[in-house]
Amino acid sequence: MSTALYGLRENKRIGRVMRGFSSHLFLILISLIIGMPFIWMISTAFKSPQEVAIFPPIWIPERLRWDNFVVAWESAPFGRFYINSLIVTGWGVVMEVIIAALTGYAFARIEFPGRNLLFMVMLAAMMIPGQMALIPNYVTLFHLGWINKYAGIVMPHISSVFGAFLLRQAFLSMSGELFDAATIDGAGHLRSLLNLALPLARPVVATLTLYLFIAKWNDYLWPLIITNTQDMRTLPVGLVMVRSAEYNIGPEHLMAATLFVLVPVLLVFFMAQRQLIDGIAAGALKG
Amino acid sequence: MDAATISSSRQGVSRWNRRKITDWLAFLGFTAPNFILLAVFTFWPVLYSFYLSFYRWNMIAPTKKFIQLENYARMLEDPIFWQVLRNTTILAVSTVCIKLTIALFLAVLLNQKLKGRDVYRAIVFSPTFTTSVAIAMVWSWVLDPYYGLLKLPLRWLGLASPAWLTDPNWALPAVIIVVIWAGIGYDMVIFLAGLQAISADLYEAARVDGATTWSLFRHVTLPLLSPTTFFLLIISIVGAFKAFDIVAVMTGGGPLNSSNVYVFYLYQNAFRWFKTGYASALAVVLFVIILVITIIQMRLSRRWVHY
């Protein structure tokens, strides 16, 4: 009897080990499928033109060709693209976070008749696909004289619904007594927001900032439409341009140039990976 | 009541009023920037798109010609529009089916106590935040029919690589593969969050009743996960109707519109061919499609989703 029981337990243990093993096998397979294109890109960026044209491919080139990056950088005004992307992303993120904080605070902490109705109006904006606004916004910006200007790239996309919603939740979850105390001490709403609400909501603000940074850095369609000279292109738009035949550069240079665009995003991702993933999961569950 | 209390209560009322008015002003001041921006760049475009869809205009000419419903009538007769709609539907359905299935499976695996869980999660999630233009660039090279990476596993299977991006039969599948590759991580993370919200006690109770792993999954996990699944379903289908970057960079909608999708066709009409009126009609229909999908799924989810 005891041996039979032992055997059963042993079977269960083996079963668990096997299941763990097959889980790892499948997860490693998927990780490889997801990871390989990245490794392939990096590997290609260091190859010589001859090494690029070998099949089956080699993974580690004979010599690391750092000069691929120099050639890629000089094939187009990438310095300028970088500055443009930094300016546009920086301004966009700062303004959108400010707007999100102001709106979120107002909806969480300031009484106003019809506040809930206004909140619904704001949420309704989420139902409108941004792609619908391409032509109207182009026309509006044309009248404002903002075509091919930084303002034209930034302004249409700094209104905040998701961020305002997120921060409102954060501000609502704070104790009301704190705010009452601040009011009794004579603090106005702006002071309460700056000295009380925002510091307490720092993790949410940080996640929102990172998320907006990545989203704005990656944006392609709108800058493509609104810019029309090379010196105003952002990195993603410039990168696609470089690929066209007139630049005549090989896959190794193209992958090097792709890395220019990706490096800031990958840095942010690996530094704050856990925060970003948890933020996404939490946001989706609440929303 | 003596004079002193009356005057103090009057003072109280006026202080209260003043407080209320400053609150209202603060509210208006705080929310005005956002609402002005939303009005100009989000709500106005809906009205203006409707308006423009009844006109013929090239975006440059000072005058627009009112043509009633002609743009919409043209859409019905435009074979490319129907092809684009078909492509977009194929993209939506195939990505939803394949992506959600794999993502759910991954999430279930990662919901166990497993060594290296966070590493797997980070790797699978990494494409979510990767610049889509960069993804398209890298994949164009992965799909290269001569020296591309994907040729390797195909050769192990004894298959020749199709000319993915230049063959009308393979361009759309190529786009689908990349969209799935790029989107799996997000779905997985959301599923994982959904799984973690399911109470462990439920599993314990079911297991005590002798439920097998499969019946646990079928009768506990799936029903309780249905709100998450519906959320991802909406996001994915709507995502297909908003897809642009991958198609624009990898195939440019070609060859012969075989991989053209809704927003890319809208973009072509608006900013390549300057058919502003027609493109606006497309935008209006896009708006309606997305609205209808959302409403249908909200209705269905009420019936099917078990909370």
Quote ipTM for the complex. 0.89
Nearest chain B residue (CA) to A100: B34
Q: Are residue B116 and residue B44 in the same domain, yes or no?
A: no
pLDDT at A212 over 50: yes
Q: Please report residues of B whose CB lies closer than 8 A to that of A225.
A: 267, 271
Same domain, B248 and B205: yes
pLDDT at B204: 80
Please report the pLDDT score of residue B307 as a whole number: 47
Lowest mean pLDDT among A127-131, A254-258, B169-173: A127-131
Residues of A in contact with B54 (CB under 8 A): none
Mean pLDDT on B37-59? 95
Same domain assignment for residues B40 and B162: no
Do A20 and B114 make contact, defined as CB atoms within 8 angstroms?
yes
Q: Which of A139-153, A273-287, B104-118 has the lowest mean pLDDT?
A: A273-287
Same domain, B149 and B291: yes
Distance (Å, whole) CA A4 – CA B56 = 84
Q: What local confidence, expressed as pLDDT, does residue A286 receive?
A: 41
**Do residue B180 and residue B36 come from a single domain?**
no
Q: Are B69 and B54 in contact (CB under 8 A)?
A: yes
A111: nearest CB among B23, B276, B291: B23
Say how many CA atoms lie within 13 Å of A17 toward its Cβ. Answer: 6
Instruction: Decide: residue B203, CB within 10 A, 0-12 exposed, 13-18 middle, 19+ buried.
Output: middle
Q: What's the CA gap between B161 and B141, in Å, rounded?
A: 13
Query: Which among B264, B235, B285 has a CA at the least distance from the CA of B175?
Result: B264
B150 located within any domain:
yes
**Token pair of B38 as six digits:** 């939303």
B194 domain-assigned: yes
Which own/partner pairs from B46-51 qualify as long-range (CB within 8 Å, at least 24 positions apart)? B46/A128, B46/A132, B46/A133, B46/B287, B48/A135, B48/A136, B48/A139, B48/B280, B49/A132, B49/A133, B49/A135, B49/A136, B49/B280, B49/B283, B49/B284, B49/B287, B50/B280, B50/B284, B51/B280
Q: In this structure, which topology does domain A76-248 adopt according to CATH?
A: MetI-like fold (1.10.3720)
Q: What is the dihedral of CA B129, B133, B135, B140, to 10 degrees?
A: 170
The DSSP string of B3-65 is HHHHHHHHHHHHHHHHHHHHHHHHHHHHHHHHHHHHIIIIIHHHHHHHHHTTEE--SSSS--E
Do B157 and B235 have their domain in common? yes
Range of the domain at B19: 3-52
**Hey, is the C-beta of A143 within 8 angstroms of any chain B C-beta?**
no
- Taking CA–CA distances from B282, the nearest residue in chain A reads A132
Question: Higher pLDDT residue, A135 or A8?
Answer: A135
Average pLDDT for B198-210? 80
Q: What is the pLDDT of residue B303?
A: 64
| Shared-domain flag, residues B44 and B88 | no
- State the DSSP code for B257: T
Rounded to whole angstroms, how far apart are CA atoms A107 and A115? 7
Distance CA B302, CA B307 (A): 10
Which domain CATH number covers B223? 1.10.3720.10
**Percentage, residues of chain B above pLDDT 70:** 93
pLDDT band at A154 (very low <50, low <70, confident <90, very high): very high
A33-37, A74-78, A148-152, A215-219: least confident range: A74-78
Chain A partners within 8 Å of B269 (Cβ): none
Residue B58 included in any domain: no
Q: Which residue has the higher pLDDT, B173 or A54?
A: B173
Helices (H), chain A: 2-45, 49-52, 67-75, 78-109, 115-124, 134-144, 150-154, 162-172, 176-184, 189-192, 198-200, 202-218, 221-226, 235-243, 251-286
pLDDT band (50, 70, 90) for residue B8 = low
| Residue at B64 is within a domain | no
Number of domains in chain B: 2
The verdict on B185 and B37 lying in the same domain is no
- Pick from B39, B205, B135: nearest CA to A261: B135
Same domain, B14 and B88: no
Between CA B35 and CA A119 the distance in angstroms is 10
- The Cα A71–Cα A92 span in angstroms is 31
CA distances A210 to A159, A263, B133, B150, Å, are 17, 15, 19, 33
Band the pLDDT of A262: cuts 50, 70, 90.
Answer: very high
Q: Please state, as a whole number, how many other Cβ atoms lie within 10 Å of the Cβ of residue B28.
A: 13
Q: Is the residue at B102 inside a domain?
A: yes
Please name which of B270, B148, B202 lies closest in space to residue A221, comparing C-alpha atoms.
B270
Neighboring chain A residues of B245 at a CB cutoff of 8 Å: 220-221
- Name the nearest CA neighbour of A113 among B21, B92, B202: B21
Number of Cβ pairs < 8 A linking chain A and chain B: 268
Domain assignment present for B59:
no
Residues B27 and B103 in one domain: no
Residue-level pLDDT at A95: 97
- Closest residue on chain A to B197 (Cα): A285
Residue of A nearest to B265 (CA): A131
Q: What is the mean pLDDT of residues B213-228?
A: 85
Let me know whether B46 and B74 are in one domain. Answer: no
How far apart are alpha carbons A69 and A243 in whole angstroms? 15
- CA B180 to each of CA A160, A207, B263: distance values in angstroms, whole numbers, following the listed order: 28, 25, 18
Question: So where are chain A's domains?
Answer: 2-52, 76-248
Overall average pLDDT of the A243-259 stretch: 86
- Chain-centre distance of CA A173, in angstroms? 26
Type and span of the H or E element at B66: strand B65-66
Asked if residue B79 and residue B41 are part of one domain, the reply reads no
Give the pLDDT band (50/70/90) at residue A7.
low
Residue B274 has which token pair?
């300057």
Mean of pLDDT values over B254-258: 91
B233 close contact with A: CB closer than 8 A? no
pLDDT for the residue A246: 67
Angstrom distance (rounded) from CA B258 to CA B80: 10
CA distance B124 to A30: 7
Q: How far is B53 from chain A (nearest CA, A)?
A: 11
Q: Among residues 208-227 of chain A, which lie with CB inside 8 Å of chain B? A: 214, 217-218, 220-221, 224-225
Has residue B61 been placed in a domain?
no
